[in-house]
Amino acid sequence: MRILILGNMANDGYAVAKELRKMNKDVDLAVNSSDFGMALPEWEDAELSHGIDPYLADGNTMRKYWIRPPWIRYFDFMNRTHWKNQLWGKIKSRIDVIKMMREYDIVETHVPFSIYSQFSGVPYVVYDAGWIRYFPYSRGIRDKLARRGYSKAKSIIITNPDTFEISDGLPYLDKKKIFFSPFAIDTDKYRPMDARELRSQYAKDDEILLFSPSRQSWKEKGNDKMIRAFARFAKQMPGSKFIMVAWSEDEQNSKSLVESLGISDKIIWIKPVPKNQLIRYYNAADIILDQFVLGSWGTSTPEAMACGKPVLMFYKKEYILRAFGKEPPILSSLSDDDIYSNLLKIAKDPEYAADMGNKSREWIIETHSSRVVAQRHLEILQKSA
């Protein structure tokens, strides 16, 4: 069975394809070279320079730092070209993608390719990493085609447990063909390591160093909650610093909030960093803070947990139990008060923090490791072919 994973949302397509290749499966990954920088395999595995802007990252430049595996196919979907300037080129790119799908027995499509896979004549599985959140209220032709693409799929892989609430309520989706599979984490790569040199750039040995890799999006991530909680935490633990990533729509709002709370001297802003550098930041920090609104996690939480770090984020118990059958070793934190009290609980008890970090890594190996997730994808693809 020839398998194509089409698209690479959050680099999960790459992670799954790489593991399936290790399992001697005939799978290719097709990557849109004009996609967002963080959706390119180079962001995951290349040794890129610090401070590359993922919005401006050029795939051709990034590939100079990396030897591409032969099973990765690049194509240009012309994301950065307006229809008015290159109408025929953009139409041809869509036709070429449909033709490419026809070379395979089954296709796993990431956003936005379920729009096109429904016209390929090839069985396909939709991989959803959050696009479904927009389906209940989106009305454009593109959204209508996306919904139709989901409804025509042989199976749908849900990666975010909070989206069960949405998929359960969409009448055009057959609930029997919806399956859960978490993001794949390479636990040989995401692991505890010595990051004292990096840590020393930001904090002293006796200080508490926090890190949040989340983009600045208050509506989805709740960055404002953790900033306010940290302001209170810093009064109790004056020897503390907080590294945050400066990008996305609420970057300036977060910086203004930091200034208004009088904690600018304790906040370190960095630009987005490629994954090989991100792993060092996870390991340099004492506590990781992720997201506090949606009720489930993306890749940052399991990546940090795999590095043996205690993580604070908010999850909805009923969704997590439905997905995994048990709760993770995370102090679920929804409100400012929750984040503040749980930060103190971890920071004031180093033994508890270490135990939480060890249990976190064990939990990720059991639930998110690349082999576990790739096997799950393979089972769904085989059933759907």
Question: What angle is formed at CA 190 by the lines to CA 293 and CA 368, rounded to 5 degrees?
Answer: 60
- Residue 315 pairs in a beta bridge with 295
Pick one of 3.40.50.720, 3.40.50.300, 3.40.50.2000, 3.40.50.150 as the CATH number of 3-184+370-384.
3.40.50.2000
C-alpha span between 70 and 310 (Å, rounded): 37
Residues 6+ apart with CB under 8 A from 365: 187, 306
Q: CATH 3.40.50.2000 in the chain: give the residue spans.
A: 3-184+370-384, 196-367
**372 CB neighbour count, 10 Å cutoff:** 18
CATH topology of domain 196-367: Rossmann fold (3.40.50)
DSSP string, 130-161: SGGGGTTT--SHHHHHHHHHHHHSSEEEE--G
Tens digit of each residue's pLDDT, the chain (385 residues):
999 999 999 999 999 999 999 999 999 999 998 888 889 999 999 888 766 777 776 666 777 778 889 999 999 998 777 777 788 889 999 999 999 999 999 999 999 999 999 999 999 999 999 999 988 877 789 889 999 999 999 999 999 999 999 999 999 999 999 999 999 999 999 999 999 999 999 999 999 999 999 999 999 999 999 999 999 999 999 999 999 999 999 999 999 999 999 999 999 999 999 999 999 999 999 999 999 999 999 999 999 999 999 999 999 999 999 999 999 999 999 999 999 999 999 999 999 999 999 999 999 999 999 999 999 999 999 999 9
Q: What is the 3-state secondary structure (H, E, C) of 240-256?
A: EEEEEECCCCCHHHHHH
Residues in the chain, how many?
385
Tokens of 18: 């790489």
